[in-house]
Structure 1
Amino acid sequence: MTNLSIGIVLFPNLTQLDFTGPYEVFARFPNTQLYLLAETLEPIKSDRGLTFLPDTTFDQSPPLDVLFVPGGIGINAKLEDRKFLDFLQTQGEKARYVTSVCTGSLLLAAAGLLQGYRATTHWLYLDLLELLGVEVVNQRVVIDRDRITGSGVTSGIDFGLVLAAELFTEAIAQSIQLQIEYNPQPPFESGSSQTAPEAIVNSVQAASKNNLDNRLQIIQKIIQPGRS
């Protein structure tokens, strides 16, 4: 059987769990080759200080069956990086599935890959995704034809299992879920803006205001007509 190819796009200041959660699931797929893709093979540091080594440059990347993009504070720089977005666009136009977790969907949208699709992102940034011309859905994982997007950070494991069922079978997805003992029982009901106490939601919004404002300015600039 021909190997399935999954490309995980890395960039400085990404959120490591956005990709390491899905990676743990992807790595258990049968007959699958994973590529850790970046512009160079230099080490990449996450937004919380962990360092990772890409294994394939953008120029060396084969055509991908699955294009996967994580998020993180580092997307701010990449939203205006034409070479980076061109790589996503080129691979996304040919991929069997175009996917993301968290604010990786903002990068897909900036590359023109989510317009006309339903998609999601981290709850703080749903309005920004909508500004980029995407039909926004506030749910854990959204499937719209060949686009699959996960919401915030930890949704990456759910997303990975959904992709497993799409690519293979529900039995394979369930087997992987059991292998990694994915049986979440959170100690609090604060994992969603819809269930967390109002004071907690307000405090997280306040702590994220500067980043939200910066992203809004970037997106307003890139959606202006006539931009180069």
Structure 2
Amino acid sequence: MTKKKIGIVLFNEFETLDVFGPVEMWGDLPDYQVFMVSQNGGLVKSAQGVETNATYSFDNAPQFDILMVPGGMGARREVNNSALLEFLRRQDKKTEWTTSVCTGSAILAKAGVLKGRRATSNKLAYEFATSQDRSVLWQGSARWVVDGKYVTSSGVSAGTDMALGLVEIIYNRQVAEKIAHETEYIWNDNAATDLFSVGKSD
């Protein structure tokens, strides 16, 4: 059986844990395969200086079943990258799940795919994220938020919790807990528990 495809978007100065936390949780799912995609393909450097190879470019990428957009300092530039925004809009039309970590939701918001949806973002960059589209129902207190096929998380480490939360939705609780146990990860499994809350929601 052909595995479904998870596409993780890379851009210069992406946040390393935003990407590799979810990769660790999703990497061994029996029905999915993880791929990296960037505007031009090839090596992309994270905010921490780690280079990661993107198998696909925006031009040759397949349709992904799950799409994930990380945040990072580069997100402040990428919200104005028309090629990225168009890629996200095109992919989003046929994804089963469109997800983000940290200020990745700011990029999704700027692309216009979160209009009227509940979403969250990194609380330290909350004003930046929310300013990208005020029609999004931004949640100031949430570790991660599920609204239809859209799953957005708070900052950095929250993406790992979100990734397990999505595993629980797609599979079941037992599978998510098994992954957390095998990785010796203490899963913050309550999406509503946000120790970094800014205490306001639209």
TM-score by length of 2: 0.88
* 1:111-137 superposed Cα distances (whole Å, 9 cap, x missing partner): 111111000000022233333121111
* Match of residue 216 from structure 1: none
Structure 1 residue identity aligned to 2:82: R
How far did 1:184 drift? 6.5
How far did 1:64 drift? 1.1
TM-score by length of 1: 0.79
* 1:46-67 superposed Cα distances (whole Å, 9 cap, x missing partner): 1111111111111111111111
* Match of residue 28 from structure 2: 28
**In terms of mean alpha carbon deviation, does 124-133 or 84-93 score higher?**
124-133
Structure 1 residue 152 corresponds to structure 2 residue 155: yes
Structure-1 separation of matches of 2:164 and 2:171: 10
Please list every run of 5 or more consecutive structure 1 residues that lacks an aligned counterpart in the other structure.
186-190, 196-228
The structure that is helix-richer by fraction is: 1
Correspondence 1:26-105 to 2 at 5 A: 26-105=26-105
Structure-2 separation of matches of 1:194 and 1:14: 23
* Match of residue 129 from structure 1: 129
* Match of residue 178 from structure 1: 181
* 1:32-53 superposed Cα distances (whole Å, 9 cap, x missing partner): 1211001123311111111111
Look at both structures and tell me which one has the larger radius of gyration over its CA atoms. Answer: 1
Residues 129/135 of structure 1: CA separation in 2 closer, same or farther (3 Å cut): farther
Judge conservation of contact 1:126–1:136 (CA < 8 Å) in 2: no
- The percentage of counterpart residues that share the same residue type is 35
Structure-2 separation of matches of 1:29 and 1:160: 12
Structure-1 separation of matches of 2:87 and 2:71: 16
Structure 1 residue 164 corresponds to structure 2 residue 178: no
Number of residue pairs matched by the alignment? 190
Structure-2 separation of matches of 1:69 and 1:177: 22
* Match of residue 198 from structure 1: none
Judge conservation of contact 2:12–2:44 (CA < 8 Å) in 1: yes
Structure-2 separation of matches of 1:194 and 1:135: 15
Structure-1 separation of matches of 2:161 and 2:12: 24
* Match of residue 14 from structure 1: 14
* 1:162-220 superposed Cα distances (whole Å, 9 cap, x missing partner): 111122222111111111111269xxxxx94459xxxxxxxxxxxxxxxxxxxxxxxxx
Structure-2 separation of matches of 1:42 and 1:35: 12
Q: CA RMSD of the aligned region, Å?
A: 1.8
Judge conservation of contact 1:129–1:136 (CA < 8 Å) in 2: no
